[in-house]
Structure 1
């Protein structure tokens, strides 16, 4: 039987006791669900905590923040190549930077420097080793890092009589950290001769 318009049924009206019972039931469900979690939820929480506590990998030293010991006069100094890695096996990251004075023509000699980041991340990286000084009058054509071995293809001149646009000495130089310093080794120089 349907109620007449305007007539209320007693059991369809909400009472404060109904609201109290509903709130109690919902609270019980929430309490039980917070105590009973699937195993994956605990593992995920532990993993997130481990990731949060893990040390952040240090960024490679930026050669753009370094003042190199190269006098270019009125020209700027260019960082032409760089490679980064753990060169000494101590767990830190170093950068090997190849620099040379900017020139519109010709190939100025290169300098090759190893940079390390001080413990203060806001401090500029510092030069910890010079692998190749510009005074050696060699130009780096390519540089590579394989494991902890730095290798570079360089070119230069066998004598002051060789035209500056035609380097005649080409060799590969390698550096590796051994006994607390970088040790250099190289393949024999390939010096071009006339008629070759």
Structure 2
């Protein structure tokens, strides 16, 4: 009877299992130390600080499923691509970028402001042909956005060549929009 010997690289010993355990501990420790929203590693609490400050409460959001946004979508449903909320002057406010959910392509977005009464106000009509990539409500009450678009109808729809910085500010009872257009890098 012949004896078969397992090659050294195929045998597992104590050294092998210690390395496997250390690798698993590193992966689990990294996953526990990262926040789910950003993936950034969070620092531990200092030893001298027994009680951490409470996290700020999120601003109440309007239930956009109950709001009829002024988009003409025909048989297609409305899809909200971005939204953000804040409390301004003691009133909850939600800003949303939405478009018609088509079967193919990326339809342009409209930006809508929904207040406590639930009535939407159009800040950016979808007819401007922009795809909104960022929305934020600033502490001064202004709304900031970033979008991509096209300099002419001849630009292929799969390759936007403009980046648009959008800002809305309240003046009286209305919102005024300012925009700054620049070429997309590499376009």
The alignment's TM-score, normalised by the length of structure 1, stands at 0.59
Any unmatched runs of 5+ in structure 2? 1-58
Is the Cα contact below 8 Å between 1:64 and 1:79 reproduced in 2?
no
Q: Deviations over 1:147-170 (max 9, x none)?
A: 112111111111111000001111
Aligned length: 129
User: Does residue 122 of structure 2 align to residue 130 of structure 1?
Assistant: yes
**Alignment CA distance shift 1:179-1:155 (3 Å):** same
Q: Residue in 1 aligned with 2:147?
A: 154
Deviates more, 1:173-182 or 1:161-170: 173-182
Other-structure match for 2:113: 114
Which runs of 5 or more residues in structure 1 are unaligned? 1-57, 119-124
RMSD of aligned Cα (Å): 2.3
Larger radius of gyration: 1
* 3-state SS in 2 of match to 1:93: strand
Contact 2:70 2:122 in 1 (8 A): no
Deviation (angstroms), 1:192? 5.0
Are the structure 2 counterparts of residues 183 and 86 from structure 1 closer, same or farther at C-alpha, using a change threshold of 3 Å? farther
SS in 2 for 1:135: helix
Q: Distance in 1 between matches of 2:103 and 2:157?
A: 14
Pairwise CA distance, 1:178: 2.2
Q: Which residue number in structure 1 is paired with residue 56 of structure 2? A: none
1:143 and 2:135 equivalent?
Answer: yes
- Map of 2:73 onto structure 1: 72
Counterpart contact for 2:84–2:94, Cα < 8 Å: yes
* Superposition deviation, residue 183 in structure 1: 1.8
2:173 corresponds to 1:174? no
Q: Which runs of 4+ in 1 moved over 3 A?
A: none
Which has a greater percent of helix? Answer: 1
TM-score when scaled to structure 2?
0.62
Corresponding residue SS for 1:86: strand
d(CA) in 2 for partners of 1:152 and 1:175?
9
Using a 3 Å threshold, how does the CA distance of structure 1 residues 103 and 190 change in structure 2: closer, same or farther?
A: same
Deviations 1:38-72 (A, max 9, x none): xxxxxxxxxxxxxxxxxxxx943211111111122
